[in-house]
Amino acid sequence: MKVALLYFTDFWNKLDVGAILLFVAGLTCRLIPGLLYPGRIILSLDFIMFCLRLMHIFTVSKTLGPKIIIVKRMMKDVFFFLFLLAVWVVSFGVAKQAILIHNESRVDWIFRGVIYQSYLTIFGQMPAYIDGVNFSLDQCSPNGTDPYKPKCPESDAVRHEPAFPEWLTVILLCLYLLFTNILLLNLLIAMFNYTFQQVQEHTDQIWKFQRHDLIEEYHGRPPAPPPFILLSHLHLFIKRVVLKMPAKRHKQLKSKLEKNEEAALLSWELYLKENYLQNQQYQQKQRPEQQIRDIGDKVNTAVDLLEMEGRKRSSSLEQRLASLEAQVAQTSRALHWVMKALRDSGFGSEEGLPTLAPQKASEGQDRELDGRQKVEAMGDTHHVNARHLLYPHSHVTRFPVPDEKVPWETEFLIYDPPFYTDDRKDKGLVDPVGK
């Protein structure tokens, strides 16, 4: 059962079975005198199937083999295209038949008027009775009694002129030809072009697969061609059934290689695999979606770096501003001391003594800083000496660390201190780490 299902998975095998069954049916009808003509019709159709079966041998050709794949895929495109075409054919055919013909009772002529004539109109065969120019009562049957003529359109019995609205039928015909001949047919051509380009890009690969399948197929078949293949089947029947000889194991289409040849083949396959993966990665990177994704990742990385740099600079600026404020406060106190000393020494007068307004603010800031330092000294004795802007006896600036990030238990991802080493000169200082 599995072998039969595997056999019918191939299209050409299905075509073989259908052609053989039609041939048997046609031959049977030919042997019966009363069915001679139907047998000839069946054999005529069977001849078409056998001719199509000959296309399978073209797969051995590098030029014609891929074209068979193109034809098969185009047939699928045509199948889906017919659904769109049927909508326009039926809509125009029904409207035309209802406007021109009244009470047509013959089913075959209804089908000819609705489907057949509308389909032939696509290829340029215009109906003669669509307007009054070519209207003639001799080409139709007035009452629809002649089986070989269509029923006449609506006409005036006195003047023998068409009574249907000619302008409406002409407009419908023009719109029908516009959509079918220009729109739908060009759509079908575009579908064929897309299918052809897809297959044409991989012509060499398709041909190699087809050639392998063809060689493997004929390797498992008897060597004699039809009709001499019947002798091969008869020989097998006698050996297996009559003489009951055991079947030999079928040799597969394989060849054993030496170890060095097998190693060379594996290395060659590995090399081709690496090339294929590199090509796939390169094609993946060349896609617009991947390029946009890479650009987005780079932009996100640049934004993160800019944010980290901005945080570093802001912390550094805050420490520098604090240092400047401390220096200004010290300068203000020094100026007050100098002015007081000069005044006490008798230099200058009280009236011309300049007043320094920021002195109180600086003193308040000093008291605030002193209080903050006392609170920090009482609450947390970690990293006290390391809070200076510069390293001891150097001009190297420390990495700015906010107050809430000072403890080592707190995570500080952007912490990036400069590399600085020096001998310890002041032994009396406490290790900032606390060791």
Write out pLDDT tens, residues 142-200: 777 777 787 777 776 666 666 677 788 888 888 999 999 899 999 999 999 998 988 88
Mean pLDDT of 207-214: 83
User: In this predicted structure, what is the pLDDT of residue 326?
Assistant: 85
DSSP annotation of 148 reads T
User: In this predicted structure, what is the pLDDT of residue 403?
Assistant: 73
Residue 161's SS3 state is strand
Q: How far apart are CA 311 and CA 403, in angstroms?
A: 14
86: confidence class by pLDDT, cuts 50, 70, 90: very high
Instruction: Output the CA torsion 163→166→168→171 (10° steps).
Output: 160
User: In this predicted structure, what is the pLDDT of residue 194?
Assistant: 92
Q: Residue 156 phi/psi, 5° resolution?
A: -85, 120
Mean pLDDT of the chain: 79
Q: What is the pLDDT of residues 108-129, one digit of tens each?
A: 888 888 888 889 888 888 877 7
Q: How many residues comprise the chain?
A: 435
Note whether 29 and 35 are within 8 A (CB). yes
DSSP H/E element including 75: helix 65-100
Beta-ladder partners of 95: none
Mean pLDDT of 404-431: 69
User: In this predicted structure, what is the pLDDT of residue 111?
Assistant: 87
Q: How far apart are CA 232 and CA 218, in angstroms?
A: 14
Closest CA to 115 of 97, 131, 98: 97
Q: How far apart are CA 248 and CA 88, in angstroms?
A: 61
Beta-ladder partners of 397: 390
Closest CA to 390 of 428, 354, 423, 417: 417
Give every CB contact of residue 114 below 8 A, 6+ residues apart in sequence.
Answer: 90, 93, 94, 96, 97
Mean pLDDT of 364-380: 49
Q: How far apart are CA 341 and CA 347, in angstroms?
A: 9
Residue 262: pLDDT over 70: yes
The model carries a pTM of 0.52
Residue 416's SS3 state is coil
Query: Residue 340 is encoded by which pair of tokens?
Result: 């007081």
Q: What is the pLDDT of residues 333-368, one digit of tens each?
A: 888 888 778 777 766 555 555 555 554 444 544 554
First and final CA of the chain: distance in angstroms?
84
Mean pLDDT of 131-152: 73
Note whether 339 and 354 are within 8 A (CB). yes
Tokens 């495109």 locate to: 77
Beta-ladder partners of 390: 397
User: In this predicted structure, what is the pLDDT of residue 387?
Assistant: 60
Residue 223: pLDDT over 70: yes
Mean pLDDT of 287-294: 83
Residue 379: pLDDT over 50: no
Note whether 131 and 166 are within 8 A (CB). yes
- Alpha helices (runs of H) in 345-389, residue ranges in sequence order: 358-379
User: In this predicted structure, what is the pLDDT of residue 355?
Assistant: 58
Better-predicted residue by pLDDT, 215 or 361: 215
Rg (CA), the chain: 49
Amino acid at 176: Y
DSSP H/E element including 156: strand 155-156
Note whether 383 and 399 are within 8 A (CB). no
Better-predicted residue by pLDDT, 48 or 411: 48
Give every CB contact of residue 30 below 8 A, 6+ residues apart in sequence.
Answer: 36, 39, 40, 43
